[in-house]
Structure 1
Amino acid sequence: MTLSFSNIALIGKYQSPDVAESVLLIARFLRERGLEVVIEQGTASSIGNAEGFPVATYEEIAENADLAVVVGGDGTMLHTARRLADRAVPLAGVNLGRLGFLTDIARKDVLLRLGEILDGKYCEESRSMLDAEILRGGQRIFQTLALNDVVVNRRELGRMIEFDLSIDGEFVYTQRSDGMIVSTPTGSTAYALSANGPILHPSVGGIALVPLCPHALTARLVTLPDSCCIEI
């Protein structure tokens, strides 16, 4: 189903004045198309002069925006996805630097591609996310969403940890290693790829478990349905 966009938020790379030219160029273009445009609060602060465009917090964007245009790199897209996931705000990524897996609109093509999106000429792609929490003494002390991966390791580099792995309440094994990457299909081309993990197509409903330097003669990568509850 093709969505219609009328209220669009612009979100730039955190504390980067380099996004100013692109953000304001996009903002003017969208205003000329008769659309409501807001600039995320931190982005507006970074660029200095927002040229009178309204400024909004992430909470306000999640509540009101039909589309968020993310200007920066994959890191900016990952951060934005976490902040707006609860309201499932569609994201479009504009890449300002190196190769972007998630921010795939080139800066030189940004107005052309955004025009096509506004005209309904786009393909929508859904990505799964991980819901992660840290428990201590049976109490949840931290919770977050992750579009790429969740990594369990020691703060000190080069020190092994020993942990138990359970899936859906069933004990699987005890492992000594540098840690474990729990990766979504999106994250399978990031840190998990560097650790020789499998590449999962974004449409695959799976989770990859990738051990980090396991101290074992036999240690296998495991791919699970994304409905599983994983305990480490």
Structure 2
Amino acid sequence: MTASQPADRTACTPAEGVRRVLLAVHTGRADIIELARSSAERLSRAGLVVRLLEDEAVDLGIEGAEVVPFGPGAAEGAEVVIVMGGDGTFLRAAELARATDAALTGVNLGKVGFLAETEPETVEETLTAIEQCEYSVEERLTLAVDVFDAAGERVGGTWALNEASVEKVERSRVLDVVLAIDGRPLTSFGCDGVLAATPTGSTAYAFSAGGPVVWPDVEAILVVPTNAHALFARPLVTSPQSVLTVGVPADGTRARVSADGRRTVEIPVGGRVDVRRSERPVRIARVQPRSFGDRLVAKFGLPVRGFRGARGHAGPGHELPRGRNVLLREDTADRPAGGGADGQA
């Protein structure tokens, strides 16, 4: 993972002289379709070629757009992939962008939406930034997953942007696992599964399972057991160079590894899963200066004024006005006249 870098000007002025943008859209809602149509019209007026996925093109009905099948080549030659939908749509689009040099940026039209940094009300800013090539690009750590059988032969693999989850197949069974880090056994326990998550994925499945929230520019791999039958089954944060191994004893319990909830690989009885940092990251286009901490405040409606000053606020997501430093007590407008408890030093 690297710090944010300015947009690659060679991508904004490609050799063939044509800038392309791939739209990846959740077509199940009329308002999202309408937003995609208006955005495509604006980008086309600015001289960019709009590309659509074949399985979404009919619902979108955008005239003059390129249409390509979903697959590794869909984002080939595209400068940016604009995602309109929730985190599920973003993860689907990440499969396309990761195979190329295209950068991802998302408009959150889902519920929480931590992966997409742009909200619907700032779509115009996002489009302007793309048109004028005024955005930065950061690389997000991804995971490489290898599955081995009992004899140590590799039988499959996948990758993940959020998390790779080793999980039981049968709900009525407890999955016994042996956990090792860098080839050294660490512990064993019965559980529902074990998550290996990236900092990007720390606010997803790992967060729900009790893992820590990790800033996305931190380089680390998270290990989070789910419903473990053990006293020592705390979330772990390991080096990005570490290799996590989850072994499944040959007791007949069926297990699989699920990557981002989209790709699954069956684990042979007595097999193991190795998870490590992938050599290929996902590139994220950032057009908003908002910090990750500000996004946490907005998404979870976190109180940042103290329990007294928070009374009467506008509701979740409105506690932190844009540009306000929450560590400075600058806002005197909310203090009662004449001091009182809230106005005391």
With the length of structure 1 as denominator, give the TM-score of the two structures.
0.90
Counterpart secondary structure, 1:60: coil
Q: Is the 8 A contact 2:40 2:62 kept in 1?
A: no
1:3 aligns with 2:17: no
Q: 1:89 matched to which residue of 2?
A: 102
Residues 13-58 of structure 1 deviation map (CA, whole Å, 9 limit, x = unaligned): 2x525332122111111110011211122221343x2323110234
Q: Is the 8 A contact 1:158 1:178 kept in 2?
A: no
Question: Aligned partners of 1:218, 1:166: CA distance in 2, in Å?
Answer: 14
Q: 1:76 matched to which residue of 2?
A: 89
How far did residue 61 of structure 1 move?
2.9
Question: Aligned partners of 1:97, 1:132: CA distance in 2, in Å?
Answer: 28
Cα RMSD of the aligned pairs, angstroms, is 1.9
Q: 1:54 matched to which residue of 2?
A: 66
How far did residue 126 of structure 1 move?
2.1
Q: 1:213 matched to which residue of 2?
A: 227
For 1:101-180, what aligned pairs fall within 5 Å after superposition?
101-136=114-149, 137-157=151-171, 159-180=173-194
The gaps in structure 1 that reach 5 residues or longer are: none
How far did residue 65 of structure 1 move?
0.7
How far did residue 135 of structure 1 move?
2.2
Say which is worse superposed, 199-208 or 1-10, in terms of deviation: 1-10
Q: 2:197 matched to which residue of 1?
A: 183
Q: 1:201 matched to which residue of 2?
A: 215
Residue 55 of structure 1 aligns to which amino acid in structure 2?
V
Q: Which has the higher helix share?
A: 1
Question: Aligned partners of 2:208, 2:29: CA distance in 1, in Å?
Answer: 31
Residues 138-174 of structure 1 deviation map (CA, whole Å, 9 limit, x = unaligned): 3433322211101111123353211111222222222
The gaps in structure 2 that reach 5 residues or longer are: 1-5, 13-18, 247-345
Residue 103 of structure 2 aligns to which amino acid in structure 1?
P
Aligned residue pairs, count: 230
1:12 aligns with 2:25: yes
Question: Aligned partners of 1:140, 1:16: CA distance in 2, in Å?
Answer: 39
Question: Aligned partners of 1:211, 1:110: CA distance in 2, in Å?
Answer: 38
How far did residue 72 of structure 1 move?
0.7
Aligned CA distance change for structure 1 residues 96 and 38 (closer, same or farther; 3 Å) = same
Q: Higher relative contact order by CA 8 Å / sep ≥ 6: 1 or 2?
A: 2
Residues 71-108 of structure 1 deviation map (CA, whole Å, 9 limit, x = unaligned): 11111111211332132420110122323111122223
Question: Aligned partners of 1:174, 1:61: CA distance in 2, in Å?
Answer: 42
Residue of structure 1 aligned with 2:80, choices 67, 83, 86: 67
Q: Which has the larger radius of gyration?
A: 2
Residue 218 of structure 1 aligns to which amino acid in structure 2?
F
With the length of structure 2 as denominator, give the TM-score of the two structures.
0.62
Question: Aligned partners of 2:46, 2:154: CA distance in 1, in Å?
Answer: 46
Question: Aligned partners of 1:118, 1:30: CA distance in 2, in Å?
Answer: 7
Residue 2 of structure 1 aligns to which amino acid in structure 2?
A
Q: 1:228 matched to which residue of 2?
A: 242
How far did residue 116 of structure 1 move?
2.2
Aligned CA distance change for structure 1 residues 109 and 220 (closer, same or farther; 3 Å) = closer
